[in-house]
Amino acid sequence: MRRYLLLEDGDSFEGKAFGSSCESGGEVVFNTSFTGFYEIMTDPSYGGQIIVFNFPSMFYYDYSMDMAQSSGISAQGIVVKDGILPGGKSFYRLNELLKSENIPGIYGVDTRRLTKKIRDSGNIRGIISNSSRFPDEFPAMQTEDLLRKFSIEKNYNIQGREDSKILFIDMGTKTSLIREMRELGSLDVVNLWNMPESYEEYDCIFLSNGPGDPGDRVFADLKEQLKKNLGKIPMVGVCLGHQIIGQVLGGRVEKMKFGHHGSNHAVGNHRETYITSHNHNFRISEDSLLQKDVNILYRDMNDGTPEMIEVEDFMILSSQFHPEGSPGPRDSTGFFQKMRGIIDGIKN
Amino acid sequence: MESRIKTGEMRVLVIGPGPVVIGQSAEFDYAGTQACSILKGEGIYTVLINSNPATIQTDESSADRVYIESINLANAVRIMENEKITHIIGSMGGQTALNLVLDLYKNGILQRNNVKILGTSPESIGIAEDRDLFHRVMEENGIAIPWSITLTRTDMEENLLRIPSFPVILRTSFSLGGLSGKIVSSASDLRRFLHEIFSDQSQKSVEVEKSLLGLIEMEYEVIRDTEGNSLMVCNMENLDPMGVHTGESIVVTPSLTIPDRLHQKMRHTALKIAEIIGIVGACNVQFAVDQERENFYVIEVNPRTSRSSALASKASGYPIAKVATLVLIGHPLTSIRNPITGNTSAAFEPSMDYVTVKIPIWPHGKFQDSGRIGISMKSTGEAMGIGRSFEESFLKAIVSTELDLSQFFRKMTRNEIIPMLREANWRRIGYILASLSMNLDMDEVCELTGWDHRIVTRIKNIFDLLNQSRNNLVENLGELKVAGIPDRVISWITGVREADLLIMRQKRGILPVYRMIDSSSSEFSSHTRYMYATYGEEDESDSIKEKSILILGSGPNRIGQGLEFDYSTVKAIQALKKTGFSAMIINSNPETVSTDFNTSDELYFDPLTLEYVSGILEKRKPEGIIVQFSGQTGQNMARDLADIYGEDIILGTSASHINKIEQRENFSRDLDALGICQALWSEAHSTGEILEKSVQFNFKVIIRGSFIIGGSSMVTIRSEQQLEQFINGFSESKGKFPLLISELMAGADEYDMDFISDGENVIKVGILKQIEPAGVHSGDSTAICGPGIPEENIEERMIQIASKLVKYYSLKGFVNIQFMEKNGAVYVIELNARASRTIPFISKLSGINWVETGIDVIVGNSLNMEKTGKKEYGAKIPVFPFNRFPDSSYELGVEMRSTGEAMVHSPNLKSLRSGMKEFYSIETKKFLILGDDNIRYREEDVETILSYDEAVEKINNDSGINMVCYLNSEHRKDFCHIAEARKIPLINNEYLWEFLSQS
């Protein structure tokens, strides 16, 4: 069956249908990884987005549940080149997974043309549809809805390393981040709407990754709370968490032209560099951080995006990239050691 | 770019790899050439030593000073002193270069001359090269390696009991391409083999190692800088499981079946190993992966650019040797720009939105060999396919091997196929395709081949589609092309000619589009025109206004069509650029300089077939195509191209004339008509006629078919028995008639003449005289060249003949004629209307850029007859891979079997001879002559030994014997093997020995 990816600028891409037959819309982003497809689809940060996979042969790959980064597929839709002739176990497996979660897929698409389009004209909204007729409206990103969908429903505790206690603010976290945090302390996992009254019992506040616009008003209360506690308690963030911390420090977030999505991004400074896993459409503008005693540890080696920052006096550390990999390299797990150091620092 | 090293004061010596041998081939020419170009670009005084004349690396433009000399300690020392070398690079010339630098270091020569090694330190190299040490270091760092136990003659029995499991691999010593190594599956077999090995007194110990047979083999290409930053350029998944050397395996880049967490663990381990060892520059780490258990073992580390680096560079668009060279001279990765995009950081790992597949090329029909593949290398080159799906890349790679696999799609039976799947062999790919085009059980195919089920079922899809489509081909053609099936594969299955498929596609507008390789999956823009063809997508080959010319490359390296052609191709591209044309190239060989994206204005990495060549013609509408530098490949394609695009499309000698020359019997008739002498000949149209026509020459004949590659459809017969064998083989393989039977003339000298012509005039490029008599393939014979060779009257006669042929066939551009001379009479053996294998050799000897002269004529300028070059003597010395084919005869014949060559040059014949002796280590060391007593030797230190046992003992017990000169003996093969195994130079025929013995 034919299926179409219709874009808000009037362009369309034709392919064949797989997965669910429902219609679905979102922001179209591309990911350049050649492994970790299932980890990527299940990463809640892709909530509200349609993922275009650049790597064209992805149906040779196992889609096993234990790779999942959340309870299901987070993306709004999947666009791939592979499967000109469908078939093989991997194809059917993914087909079933997408069907059971009501996510449409489209294969046989000229994903390179699509990628170049996104690269040249910036982020664009689209709809995956069985009809080539354009809709009247393209869905806009509703950050609050996404957050309600992807963060935990009820607060809970996870027993981790016993000597520390971490407040884990789940804004749509990857399971691998929870796994990393457990190595550092016991976790009280909370969502935005059930924040604790006081932070005194915690050794650190951790802000997870997640979907949506970091400038959305849904984060206003959280930012207010954090601002009050600046310097009193260590705060650590990853991805969306990093962008929230940036704003708490007085920085400004800006939307990038087409963001960073892939496992091959180099971050570093003029002497050291690490390959890291990225998935962000927003970033903290570097100008807005100037003169705020923010130490930019790493920048993206291509476009200079601040990728890891530290404010020693405030016991703040945050990273735009994903030090936990999953998918992607874990060359920069030094981040977690650094975080450990901050927690230990307040204890002594 | 900043660097802490003051590059302006550096004088760097780069060590090349020497002659092309199996396991160390064109890929190191590519690495070294890149290294030199980077060094020169950085303003560093660059000196190169390499004995291989066939390469672009030894072109005088490669370095500030190029020494075409034997790669040995003495020469290196002399050059270091003369050139006041400050730094040396040994990581770009394979194991040969690495070993030389280690020798220079161990002997304290580098330290004495205050020469520093750029890149990985000798101590670090030692960790990677010394198996015990490497294992210890890996174990200390918690990195899994397969267990291994060292057995010696004395402790063998007790240690046999300690072996935990079978099968095991035996390793006797380290060598190029993993030469040693046998897989043994039981204790009793092991005992038997050990006894055999230890019966050779020189074998002190044997290593017995866990066999990882059947696991997936993976490779990771790593670059690490002086600051300790490192990245993975790409990974590679071998389709053939462990047990097949990675150089012999079909390899996919990047991996397709490895899940992220397993991939990341291996990637991380590879970077960690580079750090532990202390790599600076490029390094390659190989793993054996157990996918089910999600674990892996490290099996090998190459602390230098490796065979895989060239493949990885072309596959990813990230030129490893270039970036590694910048790293070697002290630039951190953070300060290096990605050479393909020019605008992104080299610290980024490349990402790919296409797949590449590499398939090795084996010397089919050249050696007596079972064709089995295993842990030692036998392939001479590789072809790579690039496509927008695995299927497309895989099939393009198959087509790029230029093998005709149509026979595998005839009705085959299960019983024919199944046994051929079980054991990896040269023809297995054909049987795998056969099994997939039939309805054989896929589980069984996977089990027998060890190939991944996911991959096999997807290829089967393609064949199902093909089988469904064959009855309605026209209608389904579009779908077949989008599915990634090349015309040639469609032709194999349907029997429709490729030219007809092309016309069908043209009518329906089903033409290839071109996509760019940019190392970033189009995340970043790139202006480098490195393209490949696919179907049904957007075209990225936006038009360039300049007039362009397409040059056909020579495809994968094979015996008879190798690196020499790539030299000429690259020089042709450079010359074309000077004439103001935009130079485009199409080639499918990932190992070479011609497929570096900086060499041409536009690089099309695609199979050399009508489909992909015509795709470029349709899209780019060039002024014409040059086929003269693509060896036999272009000669074979010229006719079809001219039929479709008109005679003018082929620049230089026209397609119809090429065709006349290539039709052997036609050519022989033309020679007769022109009154040019040739060996007596006649045609055979049936097996009966072969016999009949050979009798008249007393069974001493050369038999040829049309369109030959490296002499592979040519055979020498010396007896009735040999003829019978030939006829049987010929009938079995359903060879095509007519055949040309010509007399094998005894006692004639053979000459190889190259010249350039504009259709009227002839300018001699060079004439090489073979030392071995006519009947030995020119590629296999030692040949000399220089003033007075041949004698003046003979040369005059040759030029007269050449002029006649030039006018008769309107020859334009390069021409090569092989002559025989006997008693003053000159006979023509063969004419090739193209650049020959010897062009680079002659160009380097004379110091004249002959390719540029040829290109001038080909693009229509007049022939510049004023050429004066150096008047030096040169010798071309072939090297043979007999050590890899132990069942093969060493007898030289019309079938070319040498893989490469070395060059020696000198101002006079006498010193040339001593140079050659030096190459063979004759003068400096003790040597051994084996032969019969009919031949006398003047030199006093020649030892002639007639007893086989005595000779074997002498070679084996290290009694200072450093040279074996084989003459006549029934044990010829044995001696050659012993010599090869002990790495003792060998002179394998009496003509060469006689020549060298003259004073």
What 3 state SS string does B160-222 have? HCCCCCCCEEEECCCCHHHCCCEEECCHHHHHHHHHHHHCCCCCCEEEEEECCCCCEEEEEEE
SS3 (DSSP) at B507? helix
pLDDT category at B706 given cuts 50, 70, 90 is low
Tokens representing A276?
Answer: 């890291």
Percent of chain B with pLDDT over 90: 69
Angstrom distances, CA of residue A70 to CA of A59, A73, B573, B809: 21, 7, 54, 74
CA A110/CA A11 separation, integer angstroms? 13
- pLDDT tens digit sequence for B870-897: 999 999 999 998 878 877 877 788 889 9
B 788-817 residues with CB < 8 A to A: none
Exposure on the CB side of residue B623, measured as CA atoms within 13 A: 16
How many CB atoms are closer than 10 A to CB B670?
Answer: 17
Q: Which amino acid does the sequence have at A152?
A: I
Percent of chain A with pLDDT over 90: 89
CA A201/CA A207 separation, integer angstroms? 17
| A171 Cα to chain B: minimum distance (Å) | 24
Tokens representing B255?
Answer: 């991996």
| B394 Cα to chain A: minimum distance (Å) | 12
B 500-539 residues with CB < 8 A to A: 515, 520-525, 536-538
DSSP B488: H
Q: Which residue of A has its CA nearest to B458?
A: A88
Instruction: With beta carbons less than 8 A apart as the criterion, state whether A318 and A237 touch.
Output: yes
| B277 Cα to chain A: minimum distance (Å) | 18
pLDDT category at B86 given cuts 50, 70, 90 is very high
Instruction: With beta carbons less than 8 A apart as the criterion, state whether B666 and B713 touch.
Output: no
A 3-32 residues with CB < 8 A to B: 30, 32
User: Does B4 contact chain A (CB < 8 Å)?
Assistant: no
Is the pLDDT reported for residue B417 higher than 80?
Answer: yes
The yes-or-no answer on residue B322 being catalytic is: no
CA B394/CA B356 separation, integer angstroms? 7
pLDDT of residue B919: 85
pTM comes to: 0.94
Could A55 and B483 be called an inter-chain contact, meaning their C-beta atoms sit closer than 8 Å? no
Q: Which residue of B has its CA nearest to A272?
A: B229
Beta strand B701-704 pairing with B714-717: antiparallel
CA angle B575, B577, B580 (to 5 degrees): 115
pLDDT of residue B959: 59
| B231 Cα to chain A: minimum distance (Å) | 7
Tokens representing A324?
Answer: 């936990």
CA B431/CA B437 separation, integer angstroms? 10
SS3 (DSSP) at B549? strand
Q: What is the 3-state secondary structure (H, E, C) of B22-49?
A: CCECHHHHHHHHHHHHHHHHCCCEEEEE
pLDDT of residue A313: 92
Q: What is the 3-state secondary structure (H, E, C) of B429-444?
A: HHHHHHHHHCCCCHHH
The catalytically annotated residue of B750, B772, B895, B990 is B750
Structural domains in chain A plus CATH codes = 2-139 (3.50.30.20), 146-347 (3.40.50.880)
Instruction: Flag residues of chain A having pLDDT under 70.
Output: none
- pLDDT tens digit sequence for B517-545: 999 999 998 889 999 999 999 999 876 77
The catalytically annotated residue of A239, A242, A265, A310 is A239
Cis bond upstream, residue B486 (ω within 30): no
CA B810/CA A215 separation, integer angstroms? 76
pLDDT of residue B709: 44
| B524 Cα to chain A: minimum distance (Å) | 8
pLDDT of residue B957: 66
Tokens representing A40?
Answer: 């990527």
Is the pLDDT reported for residue B722 higher than 70?
Answer: yes
Selected residue of B522, B526, B541 to mutate for chain A interface (largest A Cβ count, 10 A): B522
Q: Which residues pair with A160 in a beta bridge?
A: none
Q: Which residue of B has its CA nearest to A109?
A: B537
Q: Which residues pair with A158 in a beta bridge?
A: A187
pLDDT of residue B191: 87
Could B351 and A55 be called an inter-chain contact, meaning their C-beta atoms sit closer than 8 Å? yes
pLDDT of residue B82: 97
User: Does A80 contact chain B (CB < 8 Å)?
Assistant: no
The yes-or-no answer on residue B217 being catalytic is: yes
Could A301 and B465 be called an inter-chain contact, meaning their C-beta atoms sit closer than 8 Å? no
Q: Which residues pair with B818 in a beta bridge?
A: B752, B830
Query: Which residue is it, tokens 């670059």?
Result: B223
**Taken in order B801, B803, B808, B813, is the CA torsion positive or negative?**
positive
SS3 (DSSP) at B276? helix
Could A82 and B389 be called an inter-chain contact, meaning their C-beta atoms sit closer than 8 Å? yes
Beta strands in B492-546 (DSSP E): 513-516, 530-534
Q: Which residue of B has its CA nearest to A66?
A: B261
The catalytically annotated residue of B217, B219, B382, B662 is B217
pLDDT of residue B708: 43
ipTM of the complex: 0.96
CA B276/CA B230 separation, integer angstroms? 12
User: What is the overall mean pLDDT for chain A?
Assistant: 94
B 234-293 residues with CB < 8 A to A: 254-261, 263-264, 267-268, 271
Tokens representing B719?
Answer: 């007896």
Query: Which residue is it, tokens 């929870």?
Result: A178
Could B353 and A32 be called an inter-chain contact, meaning their C-beta atoms sit closer than 8 Å? yes
CA B699/CA B724 separation, integer angstroms? 10
Q: What is the mean predicted confidence (pLDDT) over B386-407?
A: 95
* Cβ-based contacts of B269 with chain A (< 8 Å): none
* Cβ pairs bridging A and B (under 8 Å): 175
Could A302 and B524 be called an inter-chain contact, meaning their C-beta atoms sit closer than 8 Å? yes
CA A131/CA A146 separation, integer angstroms? 26
The yes-or-no answer on residue A322 being catalytic is: yes
- pLDDT tens digit sequence for B939-971: 545 566 667 777 777 777 665 666 777 766 667
- pLDDT tens digit sequence for A2-13: 999 999 999 999
SS3 (DSSP) at B639? helix
Is the pLDDT reported for residue B923 higher than 70?
Answer: no
Q: Which residue of B has its CA nearest to A269?
A: B334
Is the pLDDT reported for residue B929 higher than 80?
Answer: no
Q: What is the mean predicted confidence (pLDDT) over B697-725?
A: 76
Instruction: With beta carbons less than 8 A apart as the criterion, state whether A281 and A240 touch.
Output: no
> B233 — phi, psi (to 5°)?
-75, -45
CA B247/CA B255 separation, integer angstroms? 16
Q: What is the mean predicted confidence (pLDDT) over B662-687?
A: 92
Q: Which residue of A has its CA nearest to B258?
A: A61
Q: What is the 3-state secondary structure (H, E, C) of chain A?
A: CEEEEEECCCCEEEEEEEECCCCEEEEEEEECCCCCHHHHHCCHHHCCEEEEECCCCCCCCCCCHHHCCCCCCCCCEEECCCCCCCCCHHHHHHHHHHHHCCCEEEECCCHHHHHHHHHHHCCEEEEEECCCCCCCCCCCCCHHHHHHHHCCCCCEEECCCCCCEEEEECCCCCHHHHHHHHCCCEEEEECCCCCCCCCCCCCEEEECCCCCCCCCHHHHHHHHHHHHCCCCCCEEEECHHHHHHHHHCCCCEEEEEEEEEEEEEEEECCCCEEEEEEEEEEEECCHHHCCCCCEEEEEECCCCCEEEEEECCCCEEEECCECCCCCCCCCCCHHHHHHHHHHHHHHC
CA B421/CA B921 separation, integer angstroms? 45
CA A49/CA A70 separation, integer angstroms? 16
B41: left (phi over 0), alpha (psi -120 to 50) or beta: alpha
CA B298/CA B148 separation, integer angstroms? 13
B 450-479 residues with CB < 8 A to A: 452-455, 457-458, 461-462, 465
User: What is the overall mean pLDDT for chain B?
Assistant: 90
Is the pLDDT reported for residue B733 higher than 70?
Answer: no
The catalytically annotated residue of B460, B664, B704, B884 is B704
User: Nearest-CA neighbor of B639 among B623, B627, B621?
Assistant: B627
Instruction: With beta carbons less than 8 A apart as the criterion, state whether A207 and A187 touch.
Output: no
The yes-or-no answer on residue B284 being catalytic is: yes
| A346 Cα to chain B: minimum distance (Å) | 32
How many CB atoms are closer than 10 A to CB A194?
Answer: 12
* Cβ-based contacts of B345 with chain A (< 8 Å): 266, 273, 301-302
CA B603/CA B879 separation, integer angstroms? 31
Instruction: With beta carbons less than 8 A apart as the criterion, state whether A204 and A215 touch.
Output: no
The yes-or-no answer on residue A324 being catalytic is: yes
Give the CA diameter of chain A: 65
Could A301 and B334 be called an inter-chain contact, meaning their C-beta atoms sit closer than 8 Å? yes
Q: Which residues pair with B252 in a beta bridge?
A: B237, B357
How big is chain A, counted in residues? 348
Report the residue from B258, B355, B457 with minimal CB separation from A35. B258
Task: Choose the weakest-confidence range: A1-15, A279-293, B140-154, B974-988.
Answer: B974-988
* Cβ-based contacts of A265 with chain B (< 8 Å): 348
In angstroms and rounded to an integer, the radius of gyration of the C-alpha atoms of chain B is 28
| A188 Cα to chain B: minimum distance (Å) | 27
Angstrom distances, CA of residue B690 to CA of A110, B16, B701: 57, 47, 10
> B244 — phi, psi (to 5°)?
-110, 120
User: Nearest-CA neighbor of B391 among A201, A106, A97, A84?
Assistant: A84
In the sheet that holds B783-785, the strands lie side by side as B825-832, B812-822, B749-758, B762-770, B783-785, B873-879, B900-906
Beta strand B602-605 pairing with B530-534: parallel
DSSP B971: T
**pLDDT top residue among A168 and B922:** A168
Q: Which residue of A has its CA nearest to B271?
A: A331
